Homo-oligomer: A and B are copies of this chain.
Amino acid sequence: MVKVGDSIPSVPVTISKPDNKVDLSQELASGKGVIIGVPAAFSPTCSNSHVPGWVASHKTGSAGKVYVLSVNDIFVVNAWAKSFEKDNTSKITFVADAGGDFTGALDLLFDASGLLGNKRAKRFVVTTEDGKVTGVHVEPDPSKVTVTDVEKVLGS
C-alpha cells in the first residue's frame, strides 16, 4: 500500500470530460494536495457523510488541490459531483478512475464485487506535498467515516 514518502503514480485518470485524461502526479508536483478515495458515487456513506464534510469545509483552501476519486466512470462521477454543488465553489475536483488503474497503483483497491460488481477504492485520504505522499489514512471499514474525516485529517 502507498506510504509516506512515495511518489504519486503517473497513471492517467479522467476529469470533467470523457477524453480529458489527467496525470495527477503532474497536477500535484508542486504545493500541497489531497486525494480522497471513496468506494461508490451515490452510495449513502459517500454522499451523505464523507464527501459533504470535505465539500463544506472551509479548510480545504489551505489543503491545496483537493480531489475526490472513485472507481466509477466519468458520466457517473460528473452527475455525482453536480449533486453536491452546481457551481463548484469548494474548488474540489471530482475524478473518475473507471478501470481502477490509478487506485490499483496506490494499492488501495478492495473487492466490492458482491455489492458493487467490481473492485473499488477503499475509503482513504492521501495527502501530498511537492508530489510526495505526506500522509495515508485508510478506513478499516469502508462503510464508516472515522480517520478520513476532514477534521481528523486536516485538524480542527
Contact = CB atoms under 8 A, between A and B. Distances in A.
Contacts of A73: 40, 43, 115-117
A99 B76 contact: no
A76 B42 contact: yes
A99 B75 CA distance: 18
Nearest to A19: B115
A18 B79 contact: no
Nearest to A83: B79
Interface residues of A, number: 25
Contacts of A71: 117
The complex is assembled from copies of this chain, and their number is: 2
A98 interface: yes
A113 B100 CA distance: 10
Nearest to A117: B98
B115 A76 contact: no
A148 interface: no
A118 interface: yes
Interface string A9-24: 0000000001000000
A18 B115 CA distance: 7
Nearest to A118: B118
